[in-house]
Chain A
Amino acid sequence: AQTVTQSQPEMSVQEAETVTLSCTYDTSESDYYLFWYKQPPSRQMILVIRQEAYKQQNATENRFSVNFQKAAKSFSLKISDSQLGDAAMYFCAYRTAETQGGSEKLVFGKGTKLTVNP
């Protein structure tokens, strides 16, 4: 079974600075998808960024980028120019690419609580 580990329960960053959140995963599959979701105090789950395992290029969405190291099974999220609105729980998630009779569930890490200091 796949597992996702976020080793940093809490992180903090100064406004306008850069922070990196770590995520590692365990799988025997070669094709899969990885996601970062953000959960602000409203508790809404918001997609931040998505990475396909077959793509070597790291995904980027505005101030958010990932460092995807497939061999190391590592998928870190970098937030540049941090803003107060970035304060939230961040969840790393894994999804198999196999669709034949399998579950397409998301497997989540425990989350990292990010605090942004003004």
Chain B
Amino acid sequence: DSGVTQTPKHLITATGQRVTLRCSPRSGDLSVYWYQQSLDQGLQFLIQYYNGEERAKGNILERFSAQQFPDLHSELNLSSLELGDSALYFCASSAGTGGQTQYFGPGTRLLVL
């Protein structure tokens, strides 16, 4: 158990819908990262937050957005869902910036039908 929690574990929804994925980092960790794992794209970085502020963006679609709240939990919002958005979405956390190891949550498996 990494100490990072993600809910829900599984999500099935239809095209065009909007979903929210939630992540709670390890106690004391200030940085949260979101990654997408799909069969064709592999593991890809989406976005990073540090202590409530966006720090870096990766290959995140405009239909996707995220935020980190004062209690440091984070949410990833996916809207206007398409079949291709079906993937495993991971949240990871680290203590801060500068070399700390990222610990991953169990992931949310999203299936868009």
Which A residues are within 8 Å of any B CB, using their own CB?
A: 33, 35, 37, 42-47, 50, 52, 91, 95, 97, 99, 102-111
Minimum C-beta distance from B100 to chain A (A):
9
Asked if B107 lies at the interface with its beta carbon under 8 angstroms from chain A, I say yes
Decide if B58 touches A104 in the complex (CB within 8 Å): no
Decide if A103 touches B48 in the complex (CB within 8 Å): yes
Residues 76 to 113 of chain B near chain A (Cβ within 8 Å): 88, 90, 92, 94, 97-99, 101-104, 106-107, 109
Decide if A111 touches B88 in the complex (CB within 8 Å): no
Minimum C-beta distance from B87 to chain A (A):
11
In the complex the two chains form, what is the Cα distance from A45 to B101 in whole Å? 12
Decide if B103 touches A33 in the complex (CB within 8 Å): no
A103 in complex: contacting residue of B44, B56, B90, CB < 8 Å: B56
Q: Chain A interface secondary structure, helix, strand, loop or mixed?
A: loop
**Number of B residues, CB within 8 Å of A:** 27
Complex: chain B residue closest to A111, CB-CB: B42
Minimum C-beta distance from B20 to chain A (A):
20
14 A-B pairs in the complex with CB atoms less than 8 angstroms apart: A33-B99, A43-B88, A50-B101, A95-B99, A99-B98, A103-B56, A104-B33, A104-B94, A104-B98, A105-B45, A105-B48, A105-B56, A108-B43, A109-B42
Decide if B101 touches A47 in the complex (CB within 8 Å): yes
Residues 57 to 89 of chain B near chain A (Cβ within 8 Å): 57-58, 88
B45 in complex: contacting residue of A43, A45, A50, A106, CB < 8 Å: A106
Q: Which residues of A contact B45 (CB under 8 A)?
A: 103, 105-107
Complex: chain B residue closest to A98, CB-CB: B98
Asked if B55 lies at the interface with its beta carbon under 8 angstroms from chain A, I say yes
